[in-house]
Chains A and B, each alone.
Chain A
Amino acid sequence: MSPMRVQWVAFQTIVTKEIRRFMRIWQQTLLPPAITMTLYFIIFGNLIGSRIGEMGGVDYMAYIVPGLIMMSVITNAYGNVSSSFFSNKFQRSIEEMMVAPVYPVTILLGFVAGGVARGVATGVIVTMLSLYFTDLQVHHVGVMVGVVLLSAILFSLGGFINAVFATKFDDIAIVPTFIITPLTYLGGVFYSISLLPDFWQDVSKLNPILYMVNTFRYGVLGVTDINVYVAFGMLVLFILILGSYSIWLLRRGTGMRQ
């Protein structure tokens, strides 16, 4: 059997295992974002949003929906890979792959695909829920799908690196709690950065999540605070950097091989 054939089957196996994992524990993986986002829609969209009126030329509820969808995609893609890979390390079941003829890049692609699958699944659930609260008219499908996939890939890679270095379960909660969540809230999910003073607008532009949220918002509403091409360029660049670093870590066996 050719090495490529083996890698393809191994990739499918890892993806299937990853999807089976998050589907098996759907109460912990798919249900919580659905509940949280519904609360956001009710409180920020309906109750507070009705007093705000419009933002960026659209109804406030419609304005926050793309941000909330992206927020769920990002956090779930990250969380899936970080928890799954760390759990594999913790239970030492990662050794099942290490003793097999699976290339590091195959392992990485498998876990990332699993993260993307959960990110997209959650995004679809949140999108369906949002339709109960507002009408969504897609402005640019390609941009929308492209930014969702690239963001999910990028944050899956982030979750992977986090899991490689994590030595206890607390370590995989630190980055989401202290970095991703603040950056997401400050990334224009609930507001347009045009409302901020110039200085804070410039500071906000250093936040990568701003680019993802606004690009997705552009795909849905046609409204954005940033240059969409720059956003795509940044996403691809960061994916290449984090992807290469992840493969290097896997080859070295960091956190896995003694």
Chain B
Amino acid sequence: MVAALAVENLSKVYGNGFEALKGITLEVAKGDFFALLGPNGAGKSTTLGIVSGLVQKSSGSAYVMGHDVNGDAFQARRSLGVVPQEFNFNQFEKVYDIVVTQAGYFGLKPSEARANAEELLKALDLWEKRDTPSRMLSGGMKRRLMIARALVHKPDVLILDEPTAGVDIELRRSMWEFMEDLNKKGTTIILTTHYLEEAEQLCRNIAIINKGEIVQCTSKRELLSQLTTETFVFDLCESLPEGFSLEGFEFSSPADETLEVTVEKGQSINRIFTMLTEKGLEVRSMRTKSNRLEELFVNLVRESNS
């Protein structure tokens, strides 16, 4: 089966000698919701830039739906929708015109372009703003405009380069729903994000890139199974007594009435509750200290750096 995206030994050396990609190989299956994660400057945007034709590769190859992005750029680009990290639309054009114009670049008939633009702008709550110059939109609206523009030709593969950066939580969640729905309808989505809970919530497969190299590329489930410890934060109803101990667990108390316990893989959280109850301590609430994927990501990047 043809992959939605296949990248083989892709490398990129910029004019100043910076080696952004060191021969990475990657495959994204059709219909996948795939996350490409990495710290700033890791090579995420360079990879996606090469795939979308905005960056010239130094060597290697990239295919979108089986079409070489250089050798068969026409078909590769027709299969691809791109939402870049930075706003890249004409600030003086109206919202509707931006989307319809983009449809024209993909060869859509005017009637089809107008129908698709209307459908997407309504779905992304931008229809009321259709006659507004794009520079007058809020940051969240601009992000949604870029999504509408990228989808106007109904691509098979959608690249989202930090689509929710600077977007408030409520809007981010509605964008997640939109993306999940889109993926369910069959669009392959490749996402880069700094919000790791976003990747954990949405994606099925994840690649972690650091310093131009793929550190991990696997399913989310397998990746999370690598997590050996998890830290839980317990908010207590009273302060911890003098000489408090929690046998078998590593713990700390960063503040009064707060207990942080590190739980190793295979250990039961029930034991913690039992011990706290025995010591007469009541738990008001409990949460994980950090997102599971975030913890793993930090560990993997740290290992890769060292």
* Chains A and B bind each other: yes
The size bracket of the interface on B is 20 to 34
> Whole-angstrom distance from the CB of A114 to the nearest CB of chain B?
13
By the criterion CB–CB under 8 Å, are A12 and B90 in contact? no
For A, the interface residue count at a CB cutoff of 8 angstroms equals 32
With the chains together, A101 CA to B194 CA distance in Å?
Answer: 30
By the criterion CB–CB under 8 Å, are A100 and B88 in contact? no
Q: Which residue in chain A gives the minimum CB-CB distance to B45?
A: A258
Which chain A residues border B55 with CB–CB below 8 Å? 257-258
Q: For the complex, is A17 an interface residue (Cβ under 8 Å from B)?
A: yes
Q: Mark out the residues of chain B between 67 and 111 whose CB falls within 8 Å of any chain A CB in the assembled complex.
A: 73-75, 77-78, 80, 82, 84, 86-92, 97, 101-102, 104-109
With the chains together, A102 CA to B103 CA distance in Å?
Answer: 11
By the criterion CB–CB under 8 Å, are B104 and A9 in contact? yes
With the chains together, A100 CA to B89 CA distance in Å?
Answer: 14
Report whether over half of chain A's contact residues are helix, strand or loop; otherwise say mixed: helix
Which chain B residues border A100 with CB–CB below 8 Å? 77, 102, 105-106
Q: For the complex, is A51 an interface residue (Cβ under 8 Å from B)?
A: no
Q: For the complex, is A99 an interface residue (Cβ under 8 Å from B)?
A: yes
Number of A-B contacts (CB under 8 A): 84
With the chains together, A103 CA to B53 CA distance in Å?
Answer: 12
Q: Which residue in chain B gives the minimum CB-CB distance to A107?
A: B105
A-B contact pairs, 18 of them (CB 8 A): A1-B107, A3-B74, A6-B78, A13-B105, A24-B92, A92-B87, A93-B89, A96-B105, A97-B105, A101-B74, A101-B75, A101-B106, A101-B107, A102-B105, A103-B74, A257-B53, A257-B56, A258-B14
Residues of chain B at the chain A interface (Cβ within 8 Å): 14, 49, 52-56, 73-75, 77-78, 80, 82, 84, 86-92, 97, 101-102, 104-109, 149
Which 9 residue pairs across A and B have the least CB separation, nearest first? A13-B104, A6-B107, A100-B105, A92-B88, A101-B77, A9-B107, A93-B90, A101-B74, A99-B82
